[in-house]
Structure 1
Amino acid sequence: MPEVIFNGPAGRIEGRYHQAKATGAPIAILLHPHPTFGGTMNNPIVHSLYGLFQSRGFSVLRFNFRGVGRSQGLFDNGAGELSDAASALDWLQSFNREAKICWIAGISFGAWISMQLLMRRPEISGFISVAPLAKHYDFSFLAPCPASGLFVNGEKDTVTAPEAVHSLVSKLKTQKGITIEHKVIPGANHFFQDKIDDLTKICADYLDRRLTREA
């Protein structure tokens, strides 16, 4: 997984990138948890999902938001981080111009950013949203949600109560032509401590089903 540096709105952005061998391979980007609470592209969940997409033949990029690791800039409460994510997707697409499938996955704060990017980039065809901060951030911009995807949260999440995620998903499930799946992992907290393997399996099963249907 080679280190990469590319330009973002606030300066240099640090990432890790896997280039698939197949021409026209699908692409995916991963967005990490909250920068001011220790979130980085090396988060265990980000790392696990990065491996998942790689194993399914994707060209995949994970990166540090501004002010994290070697990425330049300062935390911007979401607006700047959304711009970082857009720049990351631009960079990924520049090396994969023939890709017809584009996915995005976000964890916690990264899930909020990922869903905003989903609204702005019609080429994103699928998403995985892990432990979305449905109590802390406004997700009402998902009206309507433009792509089908998966929400996953922990039964024992004390950062965002499972009821808040359930309420969010219930609103999205009413939209025509969009299928939203929702999985709750028993005993899992916000960080999926000792449950990352369970989380990854759920995400893998969902991704495999989607890729089979869209092949």
Structure 2
Amino acid sequence: MPEVIFTGPAGRLEGRLQPSSDRRAPLAIVLHPHPHFGGTMNNQIIYNLFYMFKERNFTVLRFNFRGVGRSQGEFDHGAGELADAASALDWLQAIHPEARGCWIAGFSFGAWIGMQLLMRRPEVEGFISVAPPANLHDFSFLAPCPSSGLIVHGDRDRVALPKDTQTLVDKLKTQKGIVIDHTIVPGANHFFEGQVDELLGICSGYLDRRLAEKENAA
């Protein structure tokens, strides 16, 4: 798993890249939780999502937002972090120009950033948002949401409140042309303590189904 350094809007960004053996393999970017609450690219959920994509032969990148780890710059309340994510996708596409399609996955703050990024990048064909904090950040930009995806959270989440996540899902499900899969994990808190394997099973099952659908449609 090569360590990589690439240029972001506020300086160098530190990441980990797992390239596929297939030059045309799809790309995936995995975005970490809030930097002020200990979020880094080595978060357990981020690490596991990264390997989920690797095991399915994606070229996958996870990286530290500005001001985290060896990434330069300072926390920018979302605007700068969105620019970091866009730069990461630009960099990944530049070194893998033959890649077919792209996915974005994010956890908590990273889910908010990821869903903003997919609004700006029509090549993103799917997303996985784990515990998107709809009570803490504005998700009204998803009008309309351009891609189908999975939203998954716990029913005992005290950070990203389940009722606000449900409101977000209900709003997205009224939009034509996309399908939002929504899974609530019983007993799970914001960090899925003791239930990360269950979370990964849900995410893996969803990704496998979407990949099979795409292959059958080809």
What aligned pairs does 1:129-168 form with structure 2 within 5 A after superposition?
129-168=129-168
| Equivalent-residue separation in structure 2 for 1:161 and 1:78 (angstroms) | 20
Instruction: Quote the offset at 1:23 in angstroms.
Output: 2.3
- Look up the SS of the partner of 2:210 in the other structure: helix
Residue 53 of structure 1 pairs with residue 53 of structure 2: yes
**Which whole-Å deviations, capped at 9, do the CAs of 1:101-130 have from their partners, x for residues lacking one?**
200001000000000000001010000000
| Native 8 Å contact 2:29 2:103 kept in 1 | yes
Deviations 1:20-52 (A, max 9, x none): 001200110000000011000000000000000
SS at match of 2:92: helix
Supply the RMSD in Å over aligned alpha carbons.
0.5
**Which residue identity is paired with 2:118?**
L
Runs (4+) of structure 1 moved beyond 6 Å? none
1:68 corresponds in structure 2 to 68
| Contact 2:151–2:182 (8 Å) recurs in 1 | yes
Kept after mapping to 1: 8 A contact 2:41/2:63: yes
Query: How many pairs are equivalent?
Result: 215
5+ unaligned residues in a row in structure 2: which ranges?
A: none
Structure 1 length normalisation: TM-score?
0.99
Percent sequence identity is 66
In structure 2, the residue matched to 1:203 is 203
Kindly provide the amino acid, as one letter, of the partner of residue 110 in structure 1. G
Q: Tell me the residue number matched to 2:106.
A: 106
Aligned match of 1:174: 174
Aligned-pair distance for 1:183? 0.4
3-state DSSP of counterpart to 1:68: coil
Aligned-partner Cα distance in 1 for 2:176–2:161:
27
Structure 2 CA distance, aligned partners of 1:212 and 1:108?
A: 27
Q: Partner of 2:21 in structure 1?
A: 21
Structure-2 residue corresponding to 1:83: 83
Deviations 1:152-181 (A, max 9, x none): 001110112111101100000011110000
